[in-house]
Structure formats: structure tokens, C-alpha cells
Amino acid sequence: MSHYSDAEDSISNDFSELEGLRKRNIWDPEVESITSEIKDLLDEDVNSLVEEDCVGCPLPSTPEDENFLDSEMSDVLKAAVLVNLLAIAGDELDISALAHNAATQAEHVVRKMIQAGWSCCHFNNLPAWLQDNDFLHFGHRPPLPSFKACFKSIFRIHTETANIWTHLLGCVAFIGIAIYFLMRPVIEIELEEKIVFGAFFAGAIICLGCSSLFHTLNCHSQFIGKLFSKLDYCGIALLTMGSFVPWLYYGFYCHFKPKVVYLSIVCALGITSIIVSLWDKFSESEWRPFRAAVFMTFGLSGVVPAIHYGIVEGWFNYVSQKYLGWLVLMGVLYIIGAMFYALRVPERWFPGKFDIWFHSHQIFHVFVLVAALVHYHGISEMAMYRVTIGQCEISNSLIY
């Protein structure tokens, strides 16, 4: 790291000469404050590079390409050299333009160094907008102000790796299932049933896709992080809405009025959840239990039509159906996953021991994915049951 020390000495010498210009009244007082800020910025960048033992410093503590970083540091030194030309040209040079050039070069080198190589941070070294779970100590990504760097980070090991891949692979799986199902000939699956299942597929794909994107891009910037967190929560609401559609459709297949009423209520609750999700404070870490409560309440609202369905179909007939067990299992999986998410276990019990693998958010992701697959199997069984029954005794009945 001696070359960075040399860089620091060179920058200091350049600014010493500029101090001499100021004393000889060649220096423009209007830009003195600008130059002072530039010097502080350059000193900060160099100090960040030489602090090799600093875990989670603003610049990468273990850069991957030393030659690249040497080249970038030389660009910063060139800015200092340009300012040094004042000693020769005097008032003929535009001092403000040179000062702006130096600041631009300093910002450029910071961005390039972060993209070239970065090391994982300790939780305490993260900016406030990236601090979400204080029970996870090490392995956090630093801010990566580049979409390319964020997407490349999915192939690195850090606290978000499993969060990204669980729902990314799940999204791809549901896209494949949806294509297979929707491409079946109409003689096998009618268009109306394709639309019903399509609502579930759309909710699952959007939810898993937005979740994967959020965990990939949440370190880009505060604005991007908040934007994709809102999309993530909206995706959860859409998955819940889409999950209700098939089982309400088949559950009240021969009862038109309650089917429409319950679907309308589900849509209203879903839209309400989406509106709440767009609230800025909703994504903050201290609101985690409230977030879990909102989505659990939305999901548990299905108990009301389930009881109604039992009354309409008869309890014995209801509990004897195979699909009921799958739907109950789906609900249990969602609830357990939400409890892990809200309570932040096991990392709450063993802080710093589950930083990379098996922390609560990863477990929550797995439960959501498995529950969605179980739900797909359950509504498929429900659809097959309706096929075996045949036509309704009273088509489109308005009775409850």
C-alpha cells in the first residue's frame, strides 16, 4: 500500500504550493473554500485506502485489481497537477473549472473502486438506510451505486445471497409451470380455468421476482432501496390476492353471489395492503412486526369464506376432501414463515452466528416458496374434484 502513501504525499505537496499562491495574492478567495473541500475529500479517499484493517470502510479494503486502482488514483493526481499549473499561468486559468475537475475526478475514482472490488461490511459500518437487522453482524454488502455491480453481487457470498437465489429460482420455476399450464389445449383446460390459475401464477411470479430484485438492488442507494422494497411488499399482496382467486372460484363454483362478494372483499383488502405498502415508514426495520401483522391478517381473512364453504358443502364432505389438507398446510407454512420474519429467530438467540446462512429472512423465503408450491398442488386437486362432480345442480345459484 506504499503507492497510496506516495499519492497522499503528492497531494499534500500540491496543496502546499497552492497555499503559497494564496499568500502571493494570486489565489482567488472565492474558490478557497471549494479547494479546501476538495483536499478534504482526496485525503478521505486516500486514508480509506490505506486503512487496510478497516472492515467495512467506504472504499474496498481488499481491492481485486491493484493495477486498475493505481490507474484510477493517477487520475485524481492529475487533477491536483492541473491546479498546480496556477503557479505558471496565474490568472489566465479558470480556477473554478479546475476545482470542479478535481472534485469530479475524486467522485469518479470512488465509484470505480467500489465497482472494481468490495469487501463485506460489519453492520455498524453500514449507512443508516442499509441497517435492517442488527442481529446479523458481518457479511453485509456496502453501498454499490451501480446496477451492474449490484447484479454481479448475486454471485458473491453475503447476507443477501440466499434471499436472492431462493426467490429467483422460485420465480423461474413458476414461470415454467405457468407456461406449461397455460399452453395446454383448450380441450384439456378451458379458458376460464386458465384465467383463474393465471391470477395465481401472476401473483407468484410478481411476488418472487420483485423480492429477488429488492434483495439484489437494496444496496444501490436509499432511493432505489425504498422503491424496490415497496414493490416487494406489493408483490406479497398480489400473491395473496392471486392465491384466493382459484380456491374461491372452485369452492363456490355453484354459488355465484358469495363467490363475487368474497372476491370483491379480497380485492379490496389487497388494494388496501398495497396502499399501506407504499407508505414510506412501512419499510423501516422498526415496523417489521406491523408488516407481518398486515399480511398475516390479510391471509387469515380466508378463514371466513372457509367456514362459509364448510356450511354450504357440509362439514363431513368438507373435511373428507384431500385438497383441504393441502390448503391448510399452505396456511400453516405462511404463518410459520411470517413468525420467523417478525421474531427474527434464530439470529435473535445467537447474534452473529447466522449472518450468512439460515437467518430468519432466508427461512421466511423458503416457507413462502414452499407454501406457494403447496397451494398450487392444493388448487389443482380442488379443480380435479370439481371436474369429477360434473355440472352444478343449480347453475349460477344466488343462494348462500
Q: Report the chain's terminal Cα–Cα distance, integer Å.
A: 78
Q: Which amino acid is at 219?
A: C
365 is in an annotated binding site: yes
d(CA 155, CA 214): 16
Distance from chain centroid for Cα 220: 10
Closest to 371 in 3D by CA, of 208, 261, 156, 215: 208
215 is in an annotated binding site: yes
308 is in an annotated binding site: no
Rounded to whole angstroms, what are the CA distances from 294 to 134, 193, 272, 378? 23, 30, 10, 24
The binding site consists of: 215, 361, 365
The binding site for Zn(2+) consists of: 215, 361, 365
